[in-house]
């Protein structure tokens, strides 16, 4: 499964899921969902689930990228295509921000930023108590890391050496108001996470070889992967374009997007 060309195909399918579902629903968080698509692809390619107790946990802390997660869950057969297409339907199970549904690997209700890491810590402590060696993957965003509660979590993880969590920072360098350098210019992520006690690894978040190596890092420390990504990755007119943090596709844009993915 973790063969790179196979992962490329899966990632492309997930991006198609995002574009098709987002087009149908009129509006969606395209940019961030597309920036973390390759990370999602890799995580679910190594994701272990023997039963409801003995399962890895994936925490989408940047909850506005729910469409990316739903797209991945559909590609890895945790939800059906029919379920995926109920995205943003009135009273549906799959709104713009995730609603907890463990059966379907939606570990928590998220959307409010900075709440996922602490939740993951609670689960990580619980797994240790139960003697389970499953992993907890937490996907956060660089914008989300503006939240103080995010750093409360980092502090705890470092101090108590919670090393059954792998934290991935989807560093697309943008956020709701545009480019992060213009909103709150935060840099030196490796230094920051290292000083908190993480093994911090910076990678190209769209390169499966680098993603795989980062996830395979041998260390006793908790791992933080700073994945440098491109917001809107895969659809040229969306890439690094603040307008596509949240937006709607018209027919022409939709066809253009699909063509790019197929090309």
Partner 1 sequence: MEFDLKNIMELSRLSSRGVYGKALSDITTENDNTIAVVADVMTSSKLEEFCKKFPNKFINVGIAEQNMVSISAGLASEGYNVFASTFAPFASMRCFEQIRTQLGYMNLNVKIIGLMSGFAGGYLGNTHYGLEDIALTRTIPNMTVISPADCVETYKVIEALKNHIGPCYVRLTGVNGTPNAYKEDYSFKIGQAIQMLEGEDIAIIATGTMVYESLRAARVLKKNNISASVYNFHTIKPLDYNSLDKIFTKYNFLVTIEEHFKIGGLGSAIAEYKADKKAPPQLIIGIDNNFEKAGEYSYMLDKADLTAKKIAEKILKNWRK
Asked if residue 32 lies in contact with residue 64, where contact means CB atoms within 8 angstroms, the answer is: yes
Q: Residue 161, interface with partner 1 (CB under 8 A)? A: no
Q: Smallest distance from the beta carbon of 238 to partner 1, in angstroms?
A: 29
Asked if residue 24 lies in contact with residue 85, where contact means CB atoms within 8 angstroms, the answer is: yes
- Give the separation between CA 33 and CA 238, rounded to whole angstroms: 11
Q: Smallest distance from the beta carbon of 106 to partner 1, in angstroms?
A: 11
Which one, of 64, 32, 4, 17, lies nearest residue 180 by Cα? 32
Crossing angle for the helix pair 4-24 and 37-46, nearest 10 degrees? 120
Cite the beta strand spans of the chain per DSSP E: 57-60, 136-141, 165-171, 174-175, 178-179, 199-204, 223-228
Stretch that binds partner 1, among 149-157, 193-201, 209-217, 235-243 (CB under 8 A): 149-157
- Name the DSSP class of 146: G
Q: Residue 125, interface with partner 1 (CB under 8 A)? A: yes
CB closer to partner 1, 91 vs 263:
91
Q: Which of 7, 18, 39, 117 is in the footprint of partner 1 by CB under 8 A?
A: 117
CB closer to partner 1, 92 vs 122:
122
Q: Smallest distance from the beta carbon of 116 to partner 1, in angstroms?
A: 8
49-to-64, 74, 116, 132, 164 alpha-carbon distances in Å: 25, 16, 20, 12, 16
The end-to-end CA distance of the chain, in Å, is 23
Q: Which of 108, 166, 168, 235 is in the footprint of partner 1 by CB under 8 A?
A: 108
Stretch that binds partner 1, among 38-46, 151-159, 167-175, 236-244 (CB under 8 A): 151-159
CB closer to partner 1, 127 vs 203:
127
**Judged by CB under 8 A, how many residues of this single chain contact partner 1?**
27
Torsion sign across C-alpha atoms 2, 45, 110, 220:
negative
CB closer to partner 1, 29 vs 55:
55
Stretch that binds partner 1, among 5-13, 64-72, 153-161, 191-199 (CB under 8 A): 153-161
Q: Residue 2, interface with partner 1 (CB under 8 A)? A: no
Q: Which of 156, 212, 221, 253 is in the footprint of partner 1 by CB under 8 A?
A: 156
Asked if residue 208 lies in contact with residue 38, where contact means CB atoms within 8 angstroms, the answer is: yes
Q: Residue 127, interface with partner 1 (CB under 8 A)? A: yes
CB atoms within 10 A of CB 254: 16
Q: Residue 109, interface with partner 1 (CB under 8 A)? A: yes
213-to-28, 218, 247 alpha-carbon distances in Å: 32, 10, 34
Q: Which of 36, 66, 84, 115 is in the footprint of partner 1 by CB under 8 A?
A: 115
Give me the residues that bind partner 1 (CB under 8 A), please: 100, 107-109, 112, 114-115, 117-127, 129-130, 148-149, 152-153, 155-156, 159
């Amino acid at each position: 499964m973790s063969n790179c060309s196979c992962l490329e195909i899966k990632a492309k399918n997930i991006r198609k899921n995002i574009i098709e579902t987002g087009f149908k629903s009129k509006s969606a968080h395209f940019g961030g969902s597309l920036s973390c698509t390759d990370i999602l692809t890799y995580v679910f390619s190594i994701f272990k689930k023997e039963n409801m107790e003995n399962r890895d946990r994936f925490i989408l802390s940047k909850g506005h990228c729910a469409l990316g997660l739903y797209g991945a869950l559909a590609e890895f057969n945790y939800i059906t295509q029919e379920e995926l297409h109920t995205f943003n339907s009135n009273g549906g199970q799959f709104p713009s921000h995730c609603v907890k549904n463990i059966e379907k690997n939606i570990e928590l209700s998220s959307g409010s930023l900075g709440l996922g890491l602490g939740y993951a810590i609670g689960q990580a402590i619980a797994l240790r108590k139960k003697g389970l060696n499953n992993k907890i993957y937490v996907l956060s965003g660089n914008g989300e890391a503006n939240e103080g509660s995010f750093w409360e979590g980092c502090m705890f993880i470092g101090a108590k050496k919670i090393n059954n969590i792998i934290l991935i920072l989807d560093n697309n360098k943008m956020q709701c108001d545009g480019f992060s350098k213009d909103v709150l210019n935060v840099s030196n992520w490796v230094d920051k996470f290292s000083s908190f006690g993480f093994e911090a690894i910076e990678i190209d978040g769209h390169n499966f070889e680098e993603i795989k190596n980062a996830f395979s890092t041998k260390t006793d420390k908790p791992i933080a992967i700073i994945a440098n990504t491109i917001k809107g990755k895969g659809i040229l007119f969306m890439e690094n374009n603040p307008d596509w943090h949240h937006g709607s596709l018209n027919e022409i844009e939709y066809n253009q997007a699909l063509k790019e993915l197929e090309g």
